[in-house]
Amino acid sequence: MMRKKSLLFGTPLLFVIGVTHFFAIGAEYPDRPIRYIVPSAAGNGADISARILTAELGPQMKAQFVIDNRPTAGGVIGVGMLARAPADGYTLGYANMVYLAIFPSLMSNLPYDIDRDLQVIGQFTSGQNLLAVRPTLPVKSVAELVAHARANPDKLTFGSSGNGTTLHLSGELFKQMTGTRIAHVPYKAVQQAFTELIAGQIDLIFDNQPSIAPYVKAGRVRGLAVTGPARSALFPELPTLHEAGIPGYEIATWTGMMAPKGLPKSIVARLNAEIAKVCSAPAFQAKIAATGSICATGSTEEFVAFTKRERIKWGDIVRRSNAKID
């Protein structure tokens, strides 16, 4: 009888010890540096965005985030490295529409499968591109640009930082929705496209607001409209393309965090909550606004559904433009 009593009182004690040990292990994350893979070069928009986020996440989580830039092959190598990393929370990565929504339709030989190998965690920004023309082009509005392009089929050109980028596909969607024929000129870097645009060698460009803003504000190129669903805080005087006479035109850029598939749900939930906390701070929102974007967060489930819708949308744009990279 005494033995039974001992077992009876010992069982709750073992249970408490087990639960305490479980939560202690969970509370330890992170207990070493976190590698944050950015599949692009240091200093560009993606890298800047990633560093703004991790600079806030590090102190908040009492962790060290180490940025690992992997720009080779348009970022495919970096995403592939993330997909093959251990799903333990110590290798995370920068996510955007290029890697999660455009590449699956644009490239037939991706070394990873998004659904099988990657886990999205949460979104943290939403932005848009800006349409600008060379100052000497005789148009001052989107309507005038469309009329000019229709009157001069195959004579206008638009530049981008390469096939399949949002810069390229923004232009392709513009052509599809306006029935215009404008030749695409891809460059290795958007800075080359700016040089050619200012020199009058190409006629227009769609670009991310942070990189094109100095040129627009200095009058070296003429901004006509933005691609998103609402006007930009950086250029409140510019209409959206929808407002400017192209109903339904909308291209919003976005960024988020992703990890290898199989990351424990507790860590996914923790990271999503940490991103939301960072994005709720007015100082962080101001930093994001300075890049022409806004904070945009939500649950992991919402981000999963959103990225799947985006994959369908961008896949349709890619197919109709016949863009392909092999």
Per-domain boundaries in the chain: 33-126+252-321, 128-226
Whole-number pLDDT of residue 20: 39
DSSP code, position 251: -
Beta strands 294-295 and 183-186 are unpaired
Asked if 92 contacts 258 with a C-beta cutoff of 8 angstroms, the reply is yes
Whole-number pLDDT of residue 208: 86
Domain 128-226 adopts which CATH fold? D-Maltodextrin-Binding Protein; domain 2 (3.40.190)
What is the pLDDT tens value at each position of the chain, 326 positions in all? 444 433 333 444 444 444 433 343 445 899 999 999 999 888 777 888 899 999 999 999 999 999 999 988 778 899 999 999 999 999 999 999 999 999 998 888 898 999 999 999 999 999 999 999 999 999 999 999 999 999 999 999 999 988 888 899 999 999 999 999 999 999 988 889 999 999 999 999 999 888 888 899 999 999 999 999 999 989 999 999 999 999 999 999 999 999 999 999 999 999 999 999 999 999 999 999 888 889 999 999 999 999 999 999 999 989 888 877 75
Closest CA to 47 of 187, 208, 200: 208
Asked if 38 contacts 77 with a C-beta cutoff of 8 angstroms, the reply is no
Counting Cα atoms < 13 Å in the Cβ hemisphere of 179 gives 4
| Largest separation between any pair of C-alpha atoms in the chain | 99
Beta strands 65-69 and 34-38 are parallel
What span, in angstroms and rounded, lies between the C-alpha atoms of 94 and 110? 17
Whole-number pLDDT of residue 326: 59
Whole-number pLDDT of residue 163: 83
Cβ atoms within 10 Å, residue 72: 14
Asked if 275 contacts 53 with a C-beta cutoff of 8 angstroms, the reply is yes
Place of tokens 């249970």: 15
CATH class of 33-126+252-321: alpha beta
SS3 of 240, please? Answer: strand
Asked if 298 contacts 80 with a C-beta cutoff of 8 angstroms, the reply is no
What span, in angstroms and rounded, lies between the C-alpha atoms of 275 and 293? 16
pTM for the whole thing? Answer: 0.81
CB neighbours of 112 closer than 8 A, spacing ≥ 6?
79, 80, 83, 84, 118
- Phi (first) and psi of residue 106, to 5 degrees: -80, -30
Q: Which amino acid is at 189?
A: A
End-to-end CA gap in the chain: 76
> Which helix (H) or strand (E) segment is 280 a member of?
none
Asked if 175 contacts 166 with a C-beta cutoff of 8 angstroms, the reply is no
- Domain 128-226 in the same topology as domain 33-126+252-321: yes
Whole-number pLDDT of residue 52: 94
